[in-house]
Amino acid sequence: MTAALEVIEAPAKAIEGRSPVLLAMRRLRRDKVAMISLAVIVLIVLMAIFAPVVAAITGHPPNEQYRQIGLTPDGLPRGPNGTFWFGTDDLGRDVLVRIAYGARISLLVGVAATAITVVVGVVLGLAAGFLGGIVDTILARLIDVVLSVPFLLVAIALVSITGPSLSITVLVIGFFSWASVARIVRGQVLSLREREFVEAARSLGAGDTRIMFVDVLPNVLAPVIVYTTLLIPVVIVTQATLSFLGLGLPPPTADWGGMISESQNYYTTAWWFILFPGIALLITTLAFNLFGDGVRDAFDPRADRLR
Amino acid sequence: MVMFLIRRLGHGILVLWLITVAVFGLFFVAPSNVAQTLAGRQATPETIALIKQRLGLDQPVWKQYLDFIKNALHGNLGYDYYHQVPVTTIIGQALPITVSLALGAAVLWLLLGVFNGVISAVHPRSLADRGLTLFSLFFYSFPSFLLGLLLLYFLYFRLTLAGFTWFPAGGYTGITQGVGSWVQHLLLPWIALALLLAATYTRLTRGAMLDVLGEDYIRTARSKGIRERRVIVRHGLRSALTPVVIETVFSLPGLGQTAVVAINQQDLPVIIGIVLFASAAVVVANILVDIVYAVLDPRVRLH
Amino acid sequence: MTEASTEPQPLLRVQDVRKEFPTHRGEVVRAVDGVSLEVRKGETLGLVGETGCGKSTLARCIAHLYDVTSGSVWFDGNELTGLSRRAMRPLRREIQMIFQDPYGSLNPRRRVGSIIGDPFAIHGISKGAERKKRVQELMELVGLNPEHYNRFPSDFSGGQRQRIGVARALALRPKLVICDEPVSALDVSIQAQIINLLADLQKDFDLTYVFISHDLSVVRHVSDRIAVMYLGKLIEVSPTDQLFEQTRHPYTRALLSALPVADPDTADSREQIILAGDIPSATNPPQGCRFHTRCPKARADCVASEPPLEPVFDDDPAHRTACFFPLTIGEDLSTAVPELVDLPDREAS
């Protein structure tokens, strides 16, 4: 048996092997802006989870209409006061409570649709890039088609046909977003495919599926993670837009896009009705975008990029 | 070069055809009771059947599709269900509005883009530069409908209250009815659209956008420059061509709003016509972009 | 080897293998153009040539990473050519490859323990703690610290990474190991370590090597026999000593003359053969003997037809040369003048 040779070369780094993901996380933790946005996100999540608590504190369930105390004698919404901290909407409902419940919808759709999008997009992108041939041809054409169609119009049409519901919204958004992910992944895989470690895996006898998921996928993860965090706010805004156009959840469910839509007729008289849901939406989107930027920078710190 | 053109065109036609199949399939697979709606609540089954027949809805789907394609190639996209107006006419009426919106926004966007470029080139990393980055992040996060509504609130409502009736509440007047009025009605929508587009563009040129993320890791700097611009143009095209939300908020009867109305009425020929038109525009625009870049950079042709 | 019928069957037999690649312009590159050779169990065959001569391609044909255009490859009595991926899988345990690039041949996103353990995982041999134990044994075997099991390739130096590659190749105790320029990317001081490691492992595990390199001095140290390739063809095959002491092919002599020599006295007296021109295009190789365009001894016969690979003068049957005018012992090539005129791809020397 060969005795262990003295390795007279430069010693391996003293740090225990850290995966690039963990390294990026360390960088992220030091990014103040990103951490603040993360805190904001956590707050919003908490608000969504504890929406019933908000309702309990104010004493107003989200869909309860307070026509007597919530509306002026002319039937218009009341502004922020002692009872309704954020004022009421056109039906006398507590805006604050509805915003809290609305967070649930936005976050749910944001996360669910993004998850579906990423999973489908990654798998199909891997398959297209790695397997090549007719699989790639078909998938690449499919991606082109999906990306050429005017998303909003078709989404509206689809939802109006099937009737609005949570799952339909998630599916429709996911249906149009996977193509972008797949395109990115496919591009990456095409170049990774020629790398020697893929050849090495083949020489060991690994099959296509194994190489795709064990060898190629970890190398594609970094951009995928970044894309996912930046995709969530896009999905949230898309859902709000659909809701604004009347294709959100059926009333009386509280959701930010729908609230803003309802507020359109009252923006001259009830500024709180449009402003507070609007701010909630804006802050959420900003927080996710800032955090996403932080994640992106953590994975790929570039000196020339300006924040 | 010729080979590239042929390939690209062929690719585009294939995509276009696939879109027609997909769109047609999607809309016809879904059950629609247009005939019922048209006939009214009291209608007898016979009346409904008659309406169905007149609209050609009783034919098998594939036959409807073939008829549609045949007509489309002759320039006929069908007639709307309610008033029998040719879809091409409807599109023709709505298109100038959307184009006005898009063009004006594009001009504003170019100005903003030049401004942004100058700042980042002449005073990189300065306060103004960083401010621009933050600005672009801010507007990038802004939902379009919210931006439109807020512009209306502050620049229409509040200003009008204060006595400055500079901006209307919405609507559109054709350019033939006076340029001033035309501009006045379009100014707020232009600002909204331009801000949104500029935000996306700025983020892209500062290496922040999604679609070029993957490219960062594999392309050389120079080709990345070309790629970025292509992606910007594509993004820009996609969102600028159907500014549905802006049109809805500002009551501009362009393609987007017409489509939304048609959707609410389940007016299938109009919906399909507009969707196909918009998709075709995107495909054609992409082809043009690719051709331009192929002329500029021969390496692109070898893709 | 080809003649003696009393000898056992060679472990590896390559028979008239050709490998072509289409180019963008519709032409064909003949990377390997009719190569036949054999490797006996336990020996090391060195495969030498300049960049682009086709040795890496040949290696991959042997390892069945490429499908050959024509010809056949036999391993241990099994024909590899034309085997489906599924049928090839069990044989992959017997034939392994060590790659040239220590930075590219290891997946940067995977931990070293996982990389070395890959063969076990792929062939479903052992799992969990047992696999880990085996991997750590392998790490020790090649001179790595088994506690670095969880590190990433980026934590290691070039030489150490090659050791990882060696460990990975040996995991399943293969019979044949194809080493594709395993030390070319390493510092000279590290090269010796890796070569010695490979030599030790060969003894301990009864391995057969095909050792590819562009550096004759490296190959000399490890090989029992050497095959020299030029532009897709073998031009000289011989037991190592004879190749160096009785060099027959002008190209081989030129390669030898380019080797650095330690002793300054012998260095001065050694003839310097500087070949004219660059390697000709692989899509349109020269007619006749491919080397004639750069050969100091080229004659008209060399253009007319290709010389066969066979023993010349009174050489050992194991020493074959493809040349019409092979070198005699002691022949001074530096003064040779080619007798060809008006050749289009000939450059003035």
Angstroms from A288 CA to nearest CA on chain C? 27
Per CB-CB distance under 8 Å, the chain A contacts of B149 are 260, 264, 267, 274, 278
- Rounded to whole angstroms, how far apart are CA atoms C162 and C159? 5
Q: Is B251 left (phi over 0), alpha (psi -120 to 50) or beta?
A: left
Query: To the nearest whole percent, how much of chain A has pLDDT over 90?
Result: 30
* Pairwise pLDDT comparison (A250 vs A228), residue with the higher score: A228
- Rounded to whole angstroms, how far apart are CA atoms C135 and C152? 15
| SS3 of residue C97 by DSSP | strand
- What are the tokens at C172? 């399943």
Alpha-carbon dihedral A93, A243, B196, A307, rounded to 10 degrees:
80
Closest CA to C115 of A297, B167, B230, A196: A196
Q: Give the distance between the most distant pair of CA atoms in chain C.
A: 71
- What are the tokens at A137? 């041809």
Residue A123: pLDDT band with limits 50, 70, 90? very high
| A140 has pLDDT over 50 | yes
Q: Which chains touch C (3 or more CB pairs under 8 A)?
A: A
Q: Pick from A195, A210, A218: which is nearest to C110 by CB?
A: A218
Alpha-helix runs per DSSP H in chain A: 20-29, 32-49, 51-58, 67-70, 95-131, 133-148, 151-162, 166-192, 196-204, 208-210, 217-242, 256-263, 271-299
**Least confident range of A187-196, A234-243, B213-222:** B213-222
* Pairwise pLDDT comparison (A248 vs B206), residue with the higher score: A248
* Pairwise pLDDT comparison (A148 vs B107), residue with the higher score: B107
- What are the tokens at C269? 């007296």
Q: Contact C10/C38 with Cβ under 8 angstroms?
A: yes
Closest alpha carbon within chain B to A296: B208
Q: Pick from B153, B157, B264: which is nearest to A160 by CB?
A: B264
Closest CA to C38 of C73, C5, C12: C12
Question: Would you state the CATH architecture of domain C9-94+174-230?
Answer: 3-Layer(aba) Sandwich (3.40)
- What are the tokens at B219? 């392309």
Q: What is the mean pLDDT of residues A83-90?
A: 83
Global pTM reads 0.80
| SS3 of residue C176 by DSSP | strand
Contact A295/B at CB under 8 A: no
Q: Pick from A226, A227, A233: which is nearest to B141 by CB?
A: A233
- Rounded to whole angstroms, how far apart are CA atoms A238 and A256? 12
Q: What is the mean pLDDT of residues C190-217?
A: 91
Q: What is the pLDDT of residue A301?
A: 63
Contact: C97, A201; criterion CB under 8 Å: no
**CA Rg, chain B, in Å?**
23
Strand residues in C163-239 grouped as ranges (E): 176-180, 208-213, 225-230, 233-239
Angstroms from A35 CA to nearest CA on chain C? 26
Q: What is the pLDDT of residue C43?
A: 92
| C17 has pLDDT over 60 | yes
Per CB-CB distance under 8 Å, the chain A contacts of B245 are 152, 241, 244-245
With a CB cutoff of 8 Å and minimum separation 6, the contacts of B143 are: A237, A240, A241, A244, A257, A281, A282, A285
Contact: A241, B26; criterion CB under 8 Å: no
Per CB-CB distance under 8 Å, the chain A contacts of C93 are 205
Q: Contact B268/B34 with Cβ under 8 angstroms?
A: yes
Angstroms from C111 CA to nearest CA on chain A? 8
């069990």: which residue's tokens? C90
- Rounded to whole angstroms, how far apart are CA atoms C280 and C53? 10
Contact: C123, A4; criterion CB under 8 Å: no
Q: What is the pLDDT of residue A15?
A: 44
Q: Tell me which DSSP letter residue C63 carries.
A: T
Q: Which chains touch A (3 or more CB pairs under 8 A)?
A: B, C
- Rounded to whole angstroms, how far apart are CA atoms C17 and A243? 66
ipTM of this model?
0.83
Q: What is the pLDDT of residue C262?
A: 62
Contact A307/B at CB under 8 A: yes
Q: What is the pLDDT of residue B222?
A: 42
Angstroms from A203 CA to nearest CA on chain C? 7
Q: What is the pLDDT of residues C232-277, one digit of tens each?
A: 999 999 999 988 888 899 899 888 887 776 666 655 555 667 776 7
Q: What is the pLDDT of residue B297?
A: 66
Residue C340: pLDDT band with limits 50, 70, 90? low
Bridge partners (DSSP) listed for residue C30: C20
Q: Tell how strand C233-239 and strand C225-230 pair up.
A: antiparallel
Contact: A13, C106; criterion CB under 8 Å: no
* Pairwise pLDDT comparison (A70 vs A50), residue with the higher score: A50
- Rounded to whole angstroms, how far apart are CA atoms A73 and A280? 29
| SS3 of residue C48 by DSSP | strand
Q: What is the pLDDT of residues C104-163, one digit of tens each?
A: 899 988 999 999 999 999 998 888 899 999 999 999 999 999 999 889 998 899 899 999
What does the pLDDT profile of chain B (303 residues) look like in tens digits?
A: 677 778 878 888 888 888 888 777 777 665 566 666 666 666 677 777 777 776 666 777 777 778 777 877 777 777 777 788 888 888 888 888 888 888 888 888 888 878 877 777 777 777 777 788 888 889 888 888 898 888 888 888 777 777 766 777 777 777 677 777 788 888 888 888 888 888 877 777 666 554 444 444 434 444 445 555 555 555 555 555 558 888 888 888 888 888 888 877 777 788 888 888 888 887 888 788 777 777 776 665 554
| CA atoms B6, B9, B15, B17: torsion sign | negative
Residue range(s) in chain C whose domain bears CATH number 3.40.50.300: 9-94+174-230
Residues 144-163 of A with CB under 8 A from B: 144-145, 147-154, 156-158, 160-162
| A110 has pLDDT over 50 | yes
**Least confident range of A178-182, B13-17, C15-19, C179-183:** B13-17
Q: What is the pLDDT of residue C301?
A: 85
Per CB-CB distance under 8 Å, the chain A contacts of B130 are 306-307
Alpha-carbon dihedral C167, C173, C179, C183, rounded to 10 degrees:
30
Q: Tell how strand C225-230 and strand C44-48 pair up.
A: parallel
**Least confident range of B182-196, B246-260, C3-17, C278-292:** C3-17
| A119 has pLDDT over 70 | yes
Closest CA to B267 of B64, B45, B48, B87: B87
* Pairwise pLDDT comparison (B56 vs A32), residue with the higher score: A32
Per CB-CB distance under 8 Å, the chain B contacts of A158 are 26, 30
Q: Contact A299/B157 with Cβ under 8 angstroms?
A: no
| C212 has pLDDT over 90 | yes
* Pairwise pLDDT comparison (B212 vs A248), residue with the higher score: A248
- Rounded to whole angstroms, how far apart are CA atoms C250 and A226? 58
| A120 has pLDDT over 90 | yes
Q: Tell me which DSSP letter residue C310 carries.
A: B
- What are the tokens at A65? 């209409």
């590190």: which residue's tokens? C151
Q: Contact C193/A5 with Cβ under 8 angstroms?
A: yes
- Helices and strands, number each (H, E), in chain A: 13, 0
Contact: C160, A12; criterion CB under 8 Å: yes
Mutate one of C95, C122, C202, C203 to test the A interface: name it (highest A CB count within 10 A): C122
Closest alpha carbon within chain A to B120: A306
Contact: B271, A267; criterion CB under 8 Å: no
